[in-house]
Amino acid sequence: MDYRTLGRTGLRVGVLGFGCGNVGGLLVRGTPAEQERSVARAVDLGLNYFDTAPLYGDGQSETNLGRVLRALRPRVYVGTKFRVPDVPAAELPSAIARSLDESLARLGLERVDLLQCHNLVTRERMGRSVSVKDMRDAIVPALIRLVEAGKIGFYGMTALGETAALHEVLDAGIVQTAQVCFNLLNPSAAHALPPRFPAQDFGRLLDHAARRRTGVIVIRVLAAGALSGSEARHPIAVPTVDPIASAPEYAEDVRRARLLEALVKDGHADSLVEASLRFALTSPAVSTVLLGYSSLEHLEYAAASIAKGPLSAEAVGRLPALWATLAER
């Protein structure tokens, strides 16, 4: 396992992380034995960052991860999140503190290494989103106080919402980490998109993160499974998926993914899954790539794929023509 520094946190994290979310579902719907076996194997393979959230399985992911960590006692980093309700700005700090306390109770921990905002970020608050002003004036100051209290090590956000708002927060340097959607179906966090490309344009978000040494955690690296090129879902995985920043429907993401199989036919990777994982490593701004697993076999394959390193320059050079094909469909 290769390791990269998570921005200015200084944490050294494996380039492959362990996503404990609902999409893969292993830490939500797997059996206790499967969960313990997979986490143990992940640690053996060098994975040392585990990502969870209260939203995953309505707290079940945190509960299960906590149980496994108590049984195995590995030396790993744990990150969780909070999603604040639509309350006045003055009430945001207490909502964050309450969510963290509930997460710590489920995890059985006194402290987590990373706490991230799970709300969408927009220029002005809209429903369950938080605004740039909320982040600057209420949320980040509350997170700093939690660091000072010894309850979290570092803090960040999930970089989803309005592109302009995300740029503004990252350019201000007020968060230490960002979870960024970056995959072969939406490469806009690092690459210019062709005209009419069917995805949200994140406007080279990784460049904004790199300028402020914000640690980048890649999410949706397989577009929730669509970049397998198959609509089939593992029995443990969530049965249906809402795409993020790509096509309106999962089936359309799968159809678009199949247009990228030229990477495999040209010999740049053994599978579309491998190509997708290795693509995420091509940006030096990326610290770790989160993947949600449904089985121990998924974990083994991902680790073997990521061990091959980033896609070659030749493969990356092939991509603009393939992305142009997606824009034409």
Residues acting as catalytic residues = 56
Angstrom distance (rounded) from CA 7 to CA 14: 13
Which 3 state secondary structure label does DSSP give 187?
coil
- Could you give the CA distance from residue 78 to residue 152 in angstroms, rounded to a whole number? 10
- Beta pairing, strands 286-292 & 49-51: unpaired
| C-alpha atoms less than 13 angstroms from C-alpha of 192 in its C-beta half-sphere | 3
Distance separating alpha carbons of residues 164 and 204, to the nearest angstrom: 11
- Rg of the Cα trace of the chain? 19
H or E stretch covering 252: helix 250-258
Q: How far apart are alpha carbons 245 and 255 in whole angstroms?
A: 16
Q: How far apart are CA 221 and CA 32, in angstroms?
A: 26
Residue 248 has which token pair?
């309106």
E strand spans, 191-322 = 215-219, 286-292
